[in-house]
Amino acid sequence: MKMKNLFSGLLLALLSSTSFASSTIEPNKTIEGITTYKYYAVIKFSPDASGDELGEDCSSGSSNHVVIEFDHNDGTDNNDTKEQFSSLLAAYFAKSNTVGFGVEGCREGNGNNHPLIYRVDI
């Protein structure tokens, strides 16, 4: 019984700590533009996200941009993002679809740090 309680407590602690590692930008955003670069793309959206939504302490001063990576900062492909980027393009061209993002960490691009996407909500 003690081992079961220990396992339950450990699982709860792990889940609690990971829940603070990421944030959700609410799915009420419209994509205003997408700028692609060699290893990443910057997505501009409106309306601006609130500080609570961003929650990533990225020092860009912008609350309406996120970044999606095409690599792992070492030149290797990040295949997980191809589907996410396709979803973003579809939402951009539809103009009526709203999107949200799961963000975790930051990515430097053009002198700014923007929240890094790990999930797209449409």
CA distance 44 to 35: 8
Smallest CA-to-CA distance from 67 within 101, 99, 26 is with: 101
Q: Contact 91/85 with Cβ under 8 angstroms? A: no
Q: What is the pTM of this model?
A: 0.72
Q: Which residue has the higher pLDDT, 100 or 57?
A: 100
Domain with residue 106: its CATH number is: 2.40.50
Q: Is residue 10 part of a domain?
A: no
Overall number of domains in the chain: 1
pLDDT of residue 23: 82
In the predicted model, what is the mean pLDDT of the chain?
75
pLDDT above 90 as % of the chain: 17
Q: Is residue 57 part of a domain?
A: yes
Smallest CA-to-CA distance from 117 within 99, 93, 91 is with: 99
pLDDT of residue 43: 93
Q: Is residue 83 part of a domain?
A: yes
Question: What value does the mean pLDDT take over residues 6-11?
Answer: 40
pLDDT of residue 75: 59
pLDDT tens string 22-68: 788 888 999 999 999 888 899 999 998 877 777 656 766 678 889 99
pLDDT band at 82 (very low <50, low <70, confident <90, very high): confident
Reduced DSSP (H G I as helix, E B as strand, rest coil) percent helix, strand, coil of the chain, to 5: 30, 40, 30
Domain that holds residue 49: 22-121
Q: Is residue 75 part of a domain?
A: yes
CA distance 114 to 112: 6
